[in-house]
Amino acid sequence: MDTSASVATIISATIPVFIVVFAALRLKQSVSGRQKLGLLAAFTGIVMVALGDVKELDDLLRSSAIGATFVLVSAIAIAFYYVWSVELTNQYGTATVAAWSTTFGFLALLPWAGWEMSRVQVALTWEAVAAAVYLGVVVTVAGLFLWLNILRVVPARIAASVQLLQPIFGVAASAAIFGDKIGTLVMAGVILVLAGVALTTRSGR
């Protein structure tokens, strides 16, 4: 059930697309033709970025259909949760929804975490504690709170399109920290993503 990083990146990039679809169906948020074109352009750019980072063709071929299906199901579930959370936060408040989401997520992961810790050697270092605090507090709690609050005040198409910038920040961080080289295909993909985001977020006024 292995899935390569490139395939997972491409499939995960469908999350903003599903967000727009679910928002149109459930929240009755309209999407213009220009905005659809922007989403398509940004998604194409993500594909170019992912493929431009592939070292060998085997990286694409070693992904199993089952693994790719699980990633796709995860993308659909995440998109539906984000759109559903708009209704939940309007009814119960952003802090309440974020608190319950992170609490039940933590409880659900405890058995898996215990199983993994029983199979590998765990070294409690300051770096490990700092990483756990950063992922738990900054990325999960603060990040989820900000994201849910953003979905309340801006249309889903704008929030979804901006989310497509995540792989670009990842590529830039990898180049800055690890010295990875950015190829021509990746640069072209970045430009296409930025153009797509600009098309999607533009109001037309």
Q: Rounded to two decimals, what is the model's pTM?
A: 0.77
Q: What is the pLDDT of residue 141?
A: 87
Task: Kindly tell me if the per-residue pLDDT of 132 is higher than 50.
Answer: yes
Average pLDDT, whole number, for the chain? 83
Instruction: Render pLDDT for 88-127 as a digit per residue (tens, 0 to 9).
Output: 999 999 989 989 988 998 899 899 888 888 888 877 889 8
Q: What is the pLDDT of residue 5?
A: 67
Distant-in-sequence, close-in-space partners of 149: CB < 8 Å, separation ≥ 6: 89, 94
Q: What is the pLDDT of residue 56?
A: 46
Q: Quote the number of domains for the chain.
A: 1
The residue segments making up the domain with residue 173 are 5-201
Q: How far is Cα 117 from Cα 123, in angstroms, rounded to an integer?
A: 10
27 φ, ψ to 5°? -100, -5
